[in-house]
Amino acid sequence: SQHSSSGIERQSHFLCCSFVSRLRLHEGKVIKDRRHHLRTYPNCFVAKELIDWLIEHKEASDRDTAIKIMQKLLDQSIVHHVCDEHREFKDMKLLYRFRKDDGTFPLDSEAKVFMRGQRLYEKLMNTENNLIQTREEEGMAFERALVASEFIDWLLQEAEMPTREEAEQLGRRLLEHGIIQHVTNKHHFVDGPLLYQFRMNFRRRRRLIELLHERGRGIPESHDSPFCLRKQQSDGGNTSFLSVSPTKEIKVAVGVRRSPPVLCNPKSVVKRQVSPEELLTPGGPFIKKTFTIVGDAVGWGFVVRGSKPCHIQAVDPGGPAAAVGMKVCQFVVSVNGLNVLCHDYRTVSNLILTGPRTIVMEVMEEAAV
Let me know if 259 is exposed, middle or buried by CB neighbors in 10 A (0-12, 13-18, 19+): exposed
Span 195-246, pLDDT tens digits: 999 876 665 555 666 666 654 333 333 332 222 343 333 333 333 332 222 2
- The CA–CA distances, whole Å, from 275 to 242, 310, 331, 343 equal 27, 10, 10, 12
**Among 17-26, 125-134, 185-194, the least confident range:** 17-26
Phi, psi at 256, each rounded to 5°: -55, 130
Fill in the amino acid letter for 346.
R
- Each domain of the chain, given as residue ranges in start order, spans 1-98, 109-198, 276-366
1-98 is a CATH 1.10.10.10 domain: yes
Whether the CA torsion 206, 72, 105, 292 is positive or negative: it is: negative
Average pLDDT in the 97-125 region?
Answer: 77
Instruction: Return mean pLDDT, the chain.
Output: 75
Going by C-alpha positions, the residue among 59, 60, 34 that lies closest to residue 46 is: 34
Helices (H), 28-108: 47-56, 63-75, 99-102
* pLDDT tens column, 265-275: 456 777 788 88
Q: Report DSSP state, residue 330.
A: P
Continuous segment of H or E residues that includes residue 361: strand 358-366
Q: Give DSSP secondary structure letters for 193-257.
A: S-EEEESS-TTSPPPGGGGGGGS-TT--S-TTS-EEEEPPPSSSSSPPP-B--TTSS-EEEPPTT
On whether the 276-366 domain is CATH 2.30.42.10, my answer is: yes
- For the stretch 349-367, what's the b/e string if a residue is b when 16 or more beta carbons lie within 10 angstroms of its beta carbon? bbbbbbbbbbbbbbbbbee
Q: What is the pLDDT of residues 297-345, one digit of tens each?
A: 667 888 888 888 999 888 888 778 888 889 888 999 998 888 999 888 8
The proportion of the chain whose per-residue pLDDT surpasses 70, expressed as a percent, equals 72
Task: Calculate the CA dihedral of residues 349, 172, 317, 185 and round it to 10 degrees.
Answer: 100
Residue pair 92/47 in contact by the 8 Å Cβ criterion: yes
> Do 1-98 and 109-198 come out as alike in CATH topology?
yes
In DSSP terms, which residues pair with 264 in a beta bridge? 251
If one compares 286 and 190, the residue with the highest pLDDT of the two is 190
Of 144, 138, 155, whose CA–CA distance to 194 is shortest? 138
Architecture of domain 109-198: Orthogonal Bundle (1.10)
